[in-house]
């Protein structure tokens, strides 16, 4: 595939608008339209889908999403890119592409998207990617406003999303993602696919929200337990959970967890049991 639309090549767009990527904005532009089309296929975009995109830059992925038939709402912080995105919007029917200038961390997605469920598809800026993901995973109520997340991260972040117990990448992020979602590795991308090339490999992952979390517990309690446990991941839990200001060994006993276990050894069910115990008397009132 050499073309997906009648718009100019992305390199020409970048040169004409002077869109050198800014490190301060975490920008690495993806120019290969074959790759952006592959991302759209991974997201299973169908005509009529509503897609929410963060950080479209000059619009390479945006064009692939539109070509696949989606209506796109894109949030772009870099004012330099707005004119290039306006040219894309003008090439499609009115309403197919809506561009919101601003910081995605400050956007109320439900306000800009309305009641229509959306798929989130984005080559996330490296400097805000994890923060946005945690916010989306913490959506209340659940199931969330988004139908799926198809996101590009640094490979080390993607590895954390997919990792299981006793794997080096297993972390708080692994638990938060897998507690509420089915997580899938789609494919890796070489740094050569970007301008400028980053120093790391990138990975596209997919997350599909479960109707309900895999194990019952309060989100706030799960966040608290995992933060303390992985804050000292190599230590036994009877030591790492002392920051909870409750008797750690009694909490572990109540949850049925061996006090000498370490955070990296526990599965999601065990962390959920700890979170349930923490949220109940006598620990709740401690």
Q: What is the pLDDT along the chain (286 residues), one digit of tens a residue?
A: 456 788 888 888 888 988 776 666 566 778 888 899 999 999 999 999 999 999 999 999 999 999 999 999 999 999 999 999 999 999 999 999 999 999 999 999 999 999 899 999 999 877 789 999 999 999 999 999 999 999 999 999 999 999 999 999 999 999 999 999 999 999 999 988 887 788 889 999 999 999 999 999 999 999 999 999 999 888 999 999 999 989 999 999 999 999 999 999 999 999 999 999 999 888 876 5
DSSP state of 233: T
List the beta bridge partners of residue 146: 118
Q: Do domains 10-209 and 219-278 have the same CATH topology?
A: no
Give the domain ranges of the chain. Answer: 10-209, 219-278
CATH fourth-level superfamily of 219-278? rRNA adenine dimethylase, C-terminal domain (1.10.8.100)
Q: What is the pTM of this model?
A: 0.93
CB 264 within 8 A of CB 232: no
Residues 91, 93, 96, 99: is their CA dihedral positive or negative? Answer: positive
Residue where the block lists tokens 């509503």: 50
CB 50 within 8 A of CB 113: yes
Q: Between vectors from CA 25 to CA 83 and to CA 108, what angle results, nearest 5°?
A: 75
Q: What tokens were used for 216?
A: 């019952």
CATH 3.40.50.150 assigned to domain 10-209? The reply is: yes
Instruction: State the Cα torsion 89-90-92-94 to the nearest 10°.
Output: 80
Nearest to 3, CA basis, from 74, 93, 47, 63: 63
Instruction: State the Cα torsion 216-236-263-188 to the nearest 10°.
Output: 180
Q: How many residues does the chain have?
A: 286
Q: Between vectors from CA 257 to CA 254 and to CA 258, what angle results, nearest 5°?
A: 120
């Amino acid at each position: 595939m050499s073309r997906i639309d009648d718009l100019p090549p992305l390199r020409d767009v970048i040169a004409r608008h002077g869109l050198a990527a800014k490190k301060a904005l975490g920008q690495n532009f993806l120019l290969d339209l074959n790759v952006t089309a592959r991302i759209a296929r991974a997201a299973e975009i169908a005509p009529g889908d509503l897609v929410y995109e963060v950080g479209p830059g000059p619009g390479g992925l945006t064009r692939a999403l539109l070509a696949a038939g989606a209506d796109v709402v894109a949030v772009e912080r870099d004012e330099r890119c707005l004119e290039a995105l306006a040219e894309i919007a003008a090439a499609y029917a009115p309403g197919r592409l809506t561009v919101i200038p601003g910081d995605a961390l400050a956007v109320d997605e439900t306000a800009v998207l309305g009641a229509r469920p959306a798929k989130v598809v984005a080559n996330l800026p490296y400097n805000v990617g994890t923060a946005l993901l945690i916010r989306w995973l913490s959506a209340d109520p659940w199931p969330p406003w988004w139908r799926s997340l198809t996101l590009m991260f640094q490979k080390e972040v993607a590895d954390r999303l997919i990792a299981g117990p006793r794997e080096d990448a297993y972390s708080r992020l692994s638990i938060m993602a897998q507690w509420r979602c089915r997580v899938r590795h789609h494919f890796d991308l070489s740094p050569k696919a970007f301008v400028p090339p980053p120093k790391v490999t990138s990975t596209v992952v997919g997350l599909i929200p479960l109707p309900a979390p895999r194990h019952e517990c309060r989100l706030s309690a799960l966040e608290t337990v995992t933060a303390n446990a992985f804050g000292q991941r190599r230590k036994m839990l009877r030591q790492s959970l002392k920051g909870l200001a409750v008797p750690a060994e009694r909490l572990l006993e109540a949850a049925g967890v061996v006090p000498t276990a370490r955070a990296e050894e526990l599965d999601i069910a065990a962390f959920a049991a700890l979170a349930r115990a923490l949220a109940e008397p006598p620990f709740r009132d401690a």
